[in-house]
Structure 1
């Protein structure tokens, strides 16, 4: 069965502009999760289902692929690292390893796009994989990325697999929001929880991925998520954040021309790098959250844009201002995102939100 994706088909489990997690040689900043797994493996009672949880972009998929390589290559008991030039690593990177099955959102040939969910047909492929490969012996590993994408029928089918686990089979489920999974699926898996990366680990990871520029600012905005930092870097997110800071610096009379420019940016067509509307809204939310926190504990460090600290000290000098900014964000941001979901004009949505923020700014 061919697993390798067509070069023209996007991989749903890959951050735009970044290498796929299977090509990442090391897991950075998640030593506790690695130790927990290796300790369980060393006990000789390795559970058949593992639920890898934590925020997006902190290394859950990278860890899943590292575990898969380690199991299939029968790696050393004290470390997960498997050299890239081993036959197993080469086959895993090419998605041609017979002992490995990857389950993710499939491509819809008729619609010409990725499906929104993992369907039951994909779980049926998983059942066939476990049954057909059993005769060959050896460990068999499946990665589901992400389990959040399972539709109801697929989740129920997966539950049956977990209830009757295949001999020498192991399933790694990546979940960004594990609470959305069936409780019975969660109860049949052992959880490995990954945490946001420290600034030092973020710097190490971004340097290793070849990210240049202001990595301190990326780290400040990404909240310990390498995936989010890569997305911001790939979509010129630091420049957009600077644009937001410069716009709010025009308060108390917000510059309407600057409002229009940011709204126009949000209305650009989505591309391989991502959705401009989502980027603008994400950065607006981050700015408002940082602004609210500034009223409680002072301007954040490090600054993520030139002049950010002084601006936040002016706009959010106390707890009352912090509450006002937090309330405005909680009220206006969901409305804008809901409007986009029903195909309202993204430029108009962003412009309306910014104008209302200008009116509601504490004085």
Structure 2
């Protein structure tokens, strides 16, 4: 199956695939760390890219893969050796970059969740067969004697059997092979896997960097400051919010909270109907994500005495200060967030009516609001 035909669960609809993003924004330190390691001639066989979701880990993984396949290994003993590289950048017209862009670079394997041949549906996890299939890939010699690169996106989704299969590979690493694990929550991986990888952390982006990255991806957005605030500095999160109308939806949530403790029921019903719309699972999930974010910003406001800056919706600062004026109320919101979050996850898992879940959430918030 070609890369284009294969499922791409790591790709955000409406945004370019990470392999097609040739310039990584805001992660200069992580990029330089890998370049420095390469230039020493003692490159670790496995790297774990960590950090919040959407900050560029997959983009960096593909950037590393292109660089490694296109750059000759350093030879300190040669009088005619090229100067050591100073960045991971590979020109887009380089043969390796062209093959990667077309999905035809045979020296790279991208491991993601696959389709279950029985159900014909995308699996919810990476299974052992997905990892064991790499044995054949590693047994093939690279045509130029160079590296072969495996990207696991994301390693958090491996089930126990798959994780153990990967651990065996890490314990006996193939020659001239580099494994790149993308992990949003590395604490959930086996300690023995973490200990055999060199960790490369990526940071969150500021509002200006989020705006640059969105412009590069050709995702148009009017208020990138608000998107950066709502996404916590994740460009992937900001693009998802923009593509799904997240800014406007969050503004609706805040406007409804502004009516508490006397909940504006027509507003609440409108949001509930949105969550229950047929085929609207993405909007439903986004709504619950934004409600959870509102809880977080309420708790933070009461805990530190000031609302988050910048405001992510019109009138948000005043509404947060009124609903969470002190640390005691902040604790009320934090405790309720845990209850509501658990209830929402359970309700979605057992197919409860999402409209009822949304109405119940806002009713509980109205009861918790100070009077």
Kindly indicate whether the alpha-carbon contact (under 8 Å) linking 2:55 and 2:205 is maintained by their aligned counterparts in 1: yes
Q: Is 1:238 paired with 2:235?
A: no
Structure 1 stretches of 4+ with a deviation exceeding 3 A read none
Q: Which whole-Å deviations, capped at 9, do the CAs of 1:290-312 have from their partners, x for residues lacking one?
A: 12222223122211111111211
Q: Which whole-Å deviations, capped at 9, do the CAs of 1:256-284 have from their partners, x for residues lacking one?
A: 1111111111122446xx62221011100
Question: Residue 50 of structure 1 aligns to a residue in which SS?
Answer: strand
1:150 match: 158
Unaligned segments of structure 2, at least 5 residues: 73-83
**Residues in 1 aligned to 2:186 and 2:307: alpha-carbon distance in whole angstroms:** 33
1:287 match: 294
2:190 match: 182
1:35 match: 32
**Residues in 2 aligned to 1:171 and 1:49: alpha-carbon distance in whole angstroms:** 5
**Residues in 2 aligned to 1:10 and 1:157: alpha-carbon distance in whole angstroms:** 22
CA RMSD of superposed structures (Å)? 1.6
Kindly indicate whether the alpha-carbon contact (under 8 Å) linking 1:241 and 1:283 is maintained by their aligned counterparts in 2: yes
Kindly indicate whether the alpha-carbon contact (under 8 Å) linking 1:267 and 1:276 is maintained by their aligned counterparts in 2: no
Deviation of residue 286 (structure 1)? 0.9
Q: Is 1:60 paired with 2:57?
A: yes
1:299-318 to structure 2, matched below 5 A, reads: 299-318=307-326
Deviation of residue 109 (structure 1)? 4.3
Deviation of residue 360 (structure 1)? 1.4
Per mean C-alpha deviation after superposition, the further-off stretch among 340-349 and 289-298 is: 289-298
Kindly tell me the number of residue pairs found equivalent between the two proteins. 358
1:224 match: 233
Per mean C-alpha deviation after superposition, the further-off stretch among 134-143 and 187-196 is: 134-143
Kindly indicate whether the alpha-carbon contact (under 8 Å) linking 2:48 and 2:198 is maintained by their aligned counterparts in 1: yes
**Residues in 1 aligned to 2:2 and 2:152: alpha-carbon distance in whole angstroms:** 14
1:339-350 to structure 2, matched below 5 A, reads: 339-350=347-358
2:367 match: 359
**Residues in 2 aligned to 1:3 and 1:188: alpha-carbon distance in whole angstroms:** 30
Kindly indicate whether the alpha-carbon contact (under 8 Å) linking 2:49 and 2:202 is maintained by their aligned counterparts in 1: yes
Kindly indicate whether the alpha-carbon contact (under 8 Å) linking 2:261 and 2:370 is maintained by their aligned counterparts in 1: no
Q: Is 1:268 paired with 2:267?
A: no
**Residues in 2 aligned to 1:217 and 1:44: alpha-carbon distance in whole angstroms:** 44
Kindly indicate whether the alpha-carbon contact (under 8 Å) linking 1:55 and 1:176 is maintained by their aligned counterparts in 2: yes
**Residues in 1 aligned to 2:26 and 2:144: alpha-carbon distance in whole angstroms:** 36
**Residues in 2 aligned to 1:200 and 1:313: alpha-carbon distance in whole angstroms:** 27
Kindly indicate whether the alpha-carbon contact (under 8 Å) linking 1:101 and 1:141 is maintained by their aligned counterparts in 2: yes
Deviation of residue 199 (structure 1)? 2.2
**Residues in 2 aligned to 1:220 and 1:57: alpha-carbon distance in whole angstroms:** 14
2:19 match: 22
TM-score, normalisation: structure 1:
0.94
Question: Residue 263 of structure 2 aligns to a residue in which SS?
Answer: coil
| Of 132, 141, 144, the match for 1:133 | 141
1:120 match: 128
**Residues in 2 aligned to 1:255 and 1:67: alpha-carbon distance in whole angstroms:** 52
Q: Is 1:333 paired with 2:341?
A: yes
| Of 201, 204, 212, the match for 1:204 | 212
Kindly indicate whether the alpha-carbon contact (under 8 Å) linking 1:333 and 1:353 is maintained by their aligned counterparts in 2: no
1:111 match: 119
Kindly indicate whether the alpha-carbon contact (under 8 Å) linking 1:14 and 1:21 is maintained by their aligned counterparts in 2: yes
Unaligned segments of structure 1, at least 5 residues: none
Per mean C-alpha deviation after superposition, the further-off stretch among 63-72 and 191-200 is: 191-200
Deviation of residue 134 (structure 1)? 5.1
| Of 24, 46, 51, the match for 1:49 | 46
1:258 match: 267
Kindly indicate whether the alpha-carbon contact (under 8 Å) linking 1:24 and 1:62 is maintained by their aligned counterparts in 2: yes
**Residues in 2 aligned to 1:156 and 1:134: alpha-carbon distance in whole angstroms:** 26
